Structure 1
Amino acid sequence: MDEQSGGTFPQTLIDAFRATPDRPAFEYGGRTVTRGAVLDAVAAYVRGLREAGLTAGSVVALDTGVSPEAFAVRIAAHAEGCTVVGLRSGLTREHLRSILARHVSAVIVDEASSDAEVRCEAAELGVSVLETAALRAGAGAGAGAGAGQAAGSRSGEAGSGPCSGSLVARGAPDDVAVIHLTSGSTGRPKGTLLTYAALSVNWAYTSEDWDDRVRRLAARYERFLLFGTLNSAVVFEHLGLCLMGGGTAVIPAEPPRFPEVFGQHRITACLLTVPRLYALLDAVRESGADLSTLRNLLVAGSPLPPHRLAEAAELLGPVVHHGYGQTETGMLAVLEPGELAGRPSLADSVGRPLESVEVTVRDSEGRDVPAGKTGEVWVRRPDFFHGYWDDAEETADVLREGWVRTRDLGSLPADGYLRLAGRIRDIIIVNAIVHYAGPIERVLASHPDIDQAYVVGTPDEHTGEAVHAFVVPRPGATAPEEETLRELVARELGPAGAPTRVVPLAEVPVAASGKPDKAALRAMASMG
């Protein structure tokens, strides 16, 4: 491939960093890493990848921590045109082995990698294990000889030389750029394929195409709290929004403590899951917090009941954004604080779709339903995923003539604000009648003494399945009597949807993805 062809991802990022080499890109471990320093690291990793025999089309798995070097090695792999697979925590040995066995050429690890099983499985499958420190030193081929060979070496400091003016992205538009692993909340984690053509027009990394709403959002990312993993599709997307908007990604030396981290690092923007938001609200109520610099707290990943969104806005101020998206699609819609303040009734929505996103709501036959009616949400945008990794059947089910079936239930009224009603597959079948968990959860959470509600189905010898609910009381409140909650659901949704059991919990179990763990709840329900 002609190295000067360029133009594909991450060329826009390279160009933006090259234009402002002295601007900070990261704060990490007591040091500031400039954009020029990141490009130096990228150029060094590109040389290391080539010496290790990894070029365009090579499949590279990343098991790295959260650091400027981890970001640089991923950008280097993309600059070379490799296919990047981001490993995530919580994978079973079976899932990990199935991923590494699928034509993976190498696993790149760093000093933050703590999963010995990754190295062990790679060794058994004959997959090279490369240390980032060795790659940067140009010893990539040698590093692959064994997982422990470079274990004592430290990742080099970013910014050791002039940034390379010859750094050009080499990915072919139709090649797969990245395989993001889904959270696995519905079972086995799936790999979503994103081509270089799609990644090159990703809304977060193409700042020249931003509309006023995205520019407003990006302006709040002056100091973005970066933690957890770089292998999350949503984290990588919002990191792009920060960097392409001229902001700095702030990586705490230790796992962040909320809410203290906001004041300690003068954070202006943060991405949170719903369970972490609940913990944050509890902490702020108990001890207060310095939130003077915070301008954007974007909450996403799972449903947020309207009363909790309103409570968060009241407690934290005009900073709370409610976002909606999927690994397959990236962010689709966002509700801004000003919109919620102007119309409090919008707390039941996830906001307006981004300008680049087309949304339609359809029935089970794929036909559009009238505005405001509930159906399945279908979406499309040029930067959506290309399909599922080695799963043609699932790909054909979700991708339909350029549209993505989200498999989320929702409605799009005339006001343009998207409302969600649950997952199509999150159902309980009682006496051959389908009940969606989402509506039952929302009714339960509407009780003034209920903070959170989750519904699962359990086997029942008389009805096939039974509705089993778990509720978390509001702080300082006592869970209502089971019959009170059953009657509440019966009034709103009919007697057939009323839970057979309602069990109070002090807190909901959380999966490795940061989402409520319904698999754990089903196990608890089955145990009685």
Structure 2
Amino acid sequence: MLPDNGRMPNARDLQPLPVPPGSGALAVLPALTRALHGDGPALLPVAAGDAAESRRLVAALADGTPLTAAEDHPDDPTALVIATSGSTGAPKGVLLPASALRASAEATHRRLGGPGHWLLAMPTHHIAGIQVLVRALLAGTSPHAVDTSAGFRPDGFAAAARQVLAADGPHYTALVPTQLARLLDAGGDGLATLREFDAVLLGGAATPPALLRRAQDSGVRVTTTYGMSETSGGCVYDGRPLDVAKVDVDGETGPILLAGPMLARGYRHQPDAPAFAAGWFRTGDLGRWQDDRLEVLGRADDMIISGGVNVAPLPVERVLAEQPGVREACVLGVPDQEWGEAVVAAVVPADPAAPPAEDALRATVRERLGSAAAPKRIAFLPELPLRGPGKPDRRALAALLVS
């Protein structure tokens, strides 16, 4: 019988795990190995270089209280609690059992062609980064990491990649679209080494089709991924679920639901989170099936209602990003007296001194997606504000555009 407080006897603690940036992240491998084996406490990875954010997450999630019976299990211990703010900004702690991390990593190896050697290029306090280390541990290989002490640089990527590529067997890495774009733009050794990887997982944010085509035309073996912390990382590759994942779309175009052994146990301090029900996780993303492939249309709460018409931002972003002279685009709705919400686009031009013509961009969106989707305003920015592993920070961008 459980005590009245719901805690298990000998309840396990949740311990912060400060993760250094770049190549220093490899120092967490011993602690991660113990967590996967169920030895010692569960771990809350936090960025060692961001003291204020680390304190905020520790106060909210690793607050001195042990894991409850709903948050842990002696036969399948919670290995990691991944902090995610999602679209709300409030920290949530995603409870990932060791079995879920293993199921995701092993399914990834089966899809890609077997266990291999991994290069870490993303922050390890996010799920996409730490899963690179989990995959390497399960493969029995020694991962290498890109030195990002001065930011992500193509020459630094090339130097780390050479160490990985020197080993026999398959070679893998994982990037966000911004990193891929930098490597393609720079060319040289960074792109040359990237071409040698057997698979480059690309996730963390929506990939513009033009960037994907450009990578493929450059000889890069890109695999797009869809997933989140709640699914132990990517669980849909190139639109097709991994062999352990189940995907359902509620309606012809509707919310995406995911299930399978890679699913999280729930959220820290939220035993009855409505997103987890009957073995399924309700993602909050909208999607639809295109033949046998899942097409993700973006977050349901990012949907813009302009003049009574629903406008999904992601298709508009894809059209804009395909146009000559556009490097990146982010679309959102801002309050408008006439339309309720006005469709506004933030565009990063390939050449800041010669941005594309606004009228031409607007006309192309109108022709492809209808007049309601055409941006009422287009703002040219030197770069998009980002959060997490390469996602556009829509709240920061909305504040910027409204101001």
Fold equivalence (TM over 0.5): yes
Q: Which amino acid aligns with 2:341?
A: E
- 2:27 & 2:155 partners in 1: Cα distance? 26
Q: 1:213 to 1:254 in 2, by over 3 A?
A: closer
Does structure 1 conserve the Cα–Cα contact (< 8 Å) formed by 2:33 and 2:137? no
Give the SS at the match of 2:296: strand
Q: 1:121-148: per-residue Cα shift (whole Å, max 9, x none)? A: xxxxxxxxxxxxxxxxxxxxxxxxxxxx
Match of 1:243 in 2: 137
Deviation at 1:380, TM superposition (A): 0.8
Instruction: Give 1:332-347 correspondences, 5 Å limit.
Output: 332-335=235-238
Q: 1:156-184: per-residue Cα shift (whole Å, max 9, x none)? A: xxxxxxxxxxxxxx971365332111254
Match of 2:59 in 1: 97
Give the SS at the match of 1:75: helix
Q: Which amino acid aligns with 2:46?
A: L
Deviation at 1:238, TM superposition (A): 2.5
- 1:447 & 1:332 partners in 2: Cα distance? 30
Does residue 85 (structure 1) correspond to residue 85 (structure 2)? The answer is no
Match of 2:200 in 1: 297
Match of 1:233 in 2: 127
Q: 1:387-438: per-residue Cα shift (whole Å, max 9, x none)? A: 1222356x21x22321112222222233x22222221111222234432211
Q: Which has the higher strand share?
A: 2
Q: 1:422 to 1:253 in 2, by over 3 A?
A: closer
Instruction: Give 1:43-192 correspondences, 5 Å limit.
Output: 57-65=12-20, 66-77=24-35, 79-88=38-47, 89=50, 91=53, 94-101=56-63, 103=65, 172-173=74-75, 175-192=77-94
Does residue 326 (structure 1) correspond to residue 326 (structure 2)? The answer is no
Match of 1:353 in 2: 241
Instruction: Give 1:404-483 correspondences, 5 Å limit.
Output: 404-414=281-291, 416-475=292-351, 478-483=354-359
Match of 2:3 in 1: none
Does residue 259 (structure 1) correspond to residue 154 (structure 2)? The answer is yes
Q: 1:476 to 1:203 in 2, by over 3 A?
A: same
Deviation at 1:93, TM superposition (A): 5.8
**TM-score, with length taken from structure 2:** 0.81
Deviation at 1:276, TM superposition (A): 1.7
Q: Which amino acid aligns with 1:503?
A: A
Which of 257, 260, 268 pairs up with 1:378?
Answer: 257
Q: 1:448 to 1:247 in 2, by over 3 A?
A: same
Match of 2:4 in 1: none
Give the SS at the match of 2:244: coil
Match of 1:279 in 2: 182
Does structure 2 conserve the Cα–Cα contact (< 8 Å) formed by 1:81 and 1:177? no
Q: Which amino acid aligns with 2:198?
A: R
Q: Which amino acid aligns with 2:31?
A: V
Does structure 2 conserve the Cα–Cα contact (< 8 Å) formed by 1:176 and 1:193? yes
Does structure 1 conserve the Cα–Cα contact (< 8 Å) formed by 2:35 and 2:98? no
Q: 1:458 to 1:451 in 2, by over 3 A?
A: same
Deviation at 1:92, TM superposition (A): 7.6
Q: 1:317-338: per-residue Cα shift (whole Å, max 9, x none)? A: 1422222211111221223xxx
- 1:181 & 1:291 partners in 2: Cα distance? 30
Does structure 2 conserve the Cα–Cα contact (< 8 Å) formed by 1:192 and 1:386? yes
**TM-score, with length taken from structure 1:** 0.63
- 1:76 & 1:442 partners in 2: Cα distance? 42
Q: 1:83 to 1:244 in 2, by over 3 A?
A: closer
Q: 1:261 to 1:295 in 2, by over 3 A?
A: farther
Which of 95, 101, 104 pairs up with 1:203?
Answer: 104
Does structure 2 conserve the Cα–Cα contact (< 8 Å) formed by 1:63 and 1:86? yes
Instruction: Give 1:447-526 correspondences, 5 Å limit.
Output: 447-475=323-351, 478-526=354-402
Q: Which amino acid aligns with 2:224?
A: H
Q: 1:226 to 1:285 in 2, by over 3 A?
A: closer
Q: 1:209-250: per-residue Cα shift (whole Å, max 9, x none)? A: 787524x1x45x42x222544332222222222232243201
Cα RMSD after superposing both structures:
3.1
The percentage of aligned residue pairs carrying the same residue is 31
- 2:191 & 2:262 partners in 1: Cα distance? 41
Does structure 2 conserve the Cα–Cα contact (< 8 Å) formed by 1:263 and 1:293? no
Which of 83, 105, 111 pairs up with 1:213?
Answer: 111
Does structure 2 conserve the Cα–Cα contact (< 8 Å) formed by 1:274 and 1:515? no
Deviation at 1:500, TM superposition (A): 1.6
Q: 1:400 to 1:95 in 2, by over 3 A?
A: same
Q: 1:249-273: per-residue Cα shift (whole Å, max 9, x none)? A: 0135663753223442314432111
Match of 1:161 in 2: none
Gaps of 5+ in 1: 1-54, 106-169, 336-350, 364-368
Does residue 270 (structure 1) correspond to residue 173 (structure 2)? The answer is yes
Deviation at 1:311, TM superposition (A): 0.2
Which structure has the larger Rg?
Answer: 1
Does structure 2 conserve the Cα–Cα contact (< 8 Å) formed by 1:83 and 1:176? yes
- 2:135 & 2:32 partners in 1: Cα distance? 17
My pick for the range that moved more, 90-99 or 240-249, is 90-99
Q: 1:486 to 1:378 in 2, by over 3 A?
A: same
